[in-house]
């Protein structure tokens, strides 16, 4: 392993800045340009070790959870799990496709399915209406945390064919009202 600290988009952007001759203090100026930069072979090759570090962290997390699964159905579903991408890296198809490689030894050519983030109907900007679907990679965790309780049920042999949806509890209190529409939201994010 190359890094003593977690690898992620900051590491990718720092490496891209170095490869493109951008001042080391201005690495964040490359935000939003990663897709184009990683289409250049030398930039992709330069970030290869960081991408490998990120995938290794995913593989370790997957492997550490596997022994906790008891039922055959759980193990089968864990082997064919779906991935949810959050943060800036999830918006870059080059990174997303690399990280979708199966964490199972010998199955690196198999790509795991991924779940695109959807735009919730109750997440508003301070001015300007609903948050755009393209912004959900950055806001999904904050929005999810606005629901204080969730009933998550582990699958069992008998309900394998009929997966039960996660039932979310109603938020305990609304945190912000859009003055234009009068609708409540759980995050006030002005731009």
pLDDT given for residue 5 in this prediction: 52
Confidence of residue 184 (pLDDT cuts 50, 70, 90): low
Residues 123/186, Cβ–Cβ less than 8 Å: yes
pLDDT given for residue 148 in this prediction: 53
Residues 52/11, Cβ–Cβ less than 8 Å: no
* DSSP 8-class letter at 169: P
Q: Is the pLDDT of residue 191 over 50?
A: no
What is the rounded average pLDDT of the residues 166-180?
50
Residues 121/130, Cβ–Cβ less than 8 Å: yes
Kindly state the percentage of the chain with pLDDT values over 70. Answer: 71
What residue spans define the domains of the chain? Answer: 9-114, 133-185
Where is 174: in which H helix or E strand?
none
Report the distance separating Cα 108 and Cα 106, nearest Å. 6
Q: Is the pLDDT of residue 165 over 80?
A: no
Residues 8/63, Cβ–Cβ less than 8 Å: no
CB-based contacts of 79, cutoff 8 Å, min separation 6: 104
Q: For residue range 22-64, what is the model confidence (pLDDT) as tens digits?
A: 987 888 898 889 999 999 999 999 999 999 999 998 889 888 8
Q: Is the pLDDT of residue 154 over 90?
A: no
pLDDT given for residue 4 in this prediction: 46
């Amino acid at each position: 392993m190359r890094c003593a600290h977690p690898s992620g988009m900051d590491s990718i952007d720092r490496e891209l800045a170095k490869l493109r001759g951008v001042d080391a203090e201005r690495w964040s100026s490359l935000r939003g340009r990663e897709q184009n930069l990683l289409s250049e072979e030398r930039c992709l090759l330069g970030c290869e070790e960081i991408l490998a570090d990120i995938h290794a962290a995913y593989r370790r997390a997957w492997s550490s959870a596997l022994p906790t699964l008891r039922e055959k159905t759980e193990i089968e579903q864990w082997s064919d799990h779906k991935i949810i991408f959050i943060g800036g890296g999830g918006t870059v198809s080059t990174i997303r496709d690399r990280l979708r490689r199966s964490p199972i030894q010998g199955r690196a050519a198999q790509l795991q399915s991924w779940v695109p983030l959807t735009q919730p109907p109750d997440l508003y900007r301070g001015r300007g209406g609903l948050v755009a679907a393209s912004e959900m990679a950055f806001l999904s965790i904050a929005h999810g945390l606005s629901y204080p309780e969730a009933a998550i049920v582990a699958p069992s042999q008998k309900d394998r064919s009929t997966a039960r949806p996660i039932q979310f509890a109603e938020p305990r209190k609304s945190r912000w009202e859009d003055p234009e529409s009068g609708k409540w939201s759980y995050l006030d994010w002005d731009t």
